[in-house]
């Protein structure tokens, strides 16, 4: 039996602490390392977000998660697909998992998704 994978469990980022750390770096002239230690944030992540904020020319920094970019469907499209699958199940025409995947792919292709 192969050894199990050791996974790194990262704590969730506190949005408020992250925004305060960015303002400390930019307005209070605190170093990246000191701000990261003071707010329990990764220094590399803080540096990356400060650079992104400087390039954006926005007035206020707002932290946003990056995994929203990789979603295939919008909330409305996803709810339409779910309602169709539930209706098919009510009519005793339930689909297997592979058929649901094929249907979702065809739906995405019809809506010109990637």
C-beta of residue 21 within 8 angstroms of C-beta of residue 41: yes
Q: Domains in the chain and their CATH numbers?
A: 15-68 (1.10.10), 71-110 (no CATH)
Query: For 2-61, how does the pLDDT look when each residue is reduced to its tens digit (9 = 90+)?
Result: 778 888 887 777 888 888 998 899 889 999 999 999 998 889 989 988 888 888 877 777
Q: Can you read off the two tokens belonging to residue 67?
A: 């995994």
Cα separations (Å) of 90 from 68, 84, 94, 107, 108? 31, 10, 8, 20, 24
Query: pTM above 0.75?
Result: no
Residue 108 binned pLDDT confidence (cut-offs 50, 70, 90): very high
Q: Can you read off the two tokens belonging to residue 10?
A: 């990262």
Q: Residue 110's pLDDT is what?
A: 92
H-helix segments, 40-74: 43-56
Residue 68 binned pLDDT confidence (cut-offs 50, 70, 90): low
Q: Residue 103's pLDDT is what?
A: 93
With tokens 């704590």, the residue in question is 11
């Amino acid at each position: 039996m192969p050894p199990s994978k050791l996974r790194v469990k990262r704590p969730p980022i506190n949005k408020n602490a992250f925004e305060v750390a960015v303002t400390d770096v930019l307005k209070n002239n605190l170093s990246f390392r000191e701000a990261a230690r003071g707010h329990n944030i990764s220094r590399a992540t803080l540096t990356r977000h400060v650079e992104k904020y400087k390039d954006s020319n926005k007035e206020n920094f707002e932290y946003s998660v990056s995994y929203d970019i990789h979603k295939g469907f919008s909330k409305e499209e996803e709810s339409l697909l779910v309602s169709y699958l539930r209706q098919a199940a009510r009519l005793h025409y339930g689909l297997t998992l592979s058929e649901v995947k094929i249907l979702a792919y065809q739906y995405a292709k019809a809506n010109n998704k990637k």
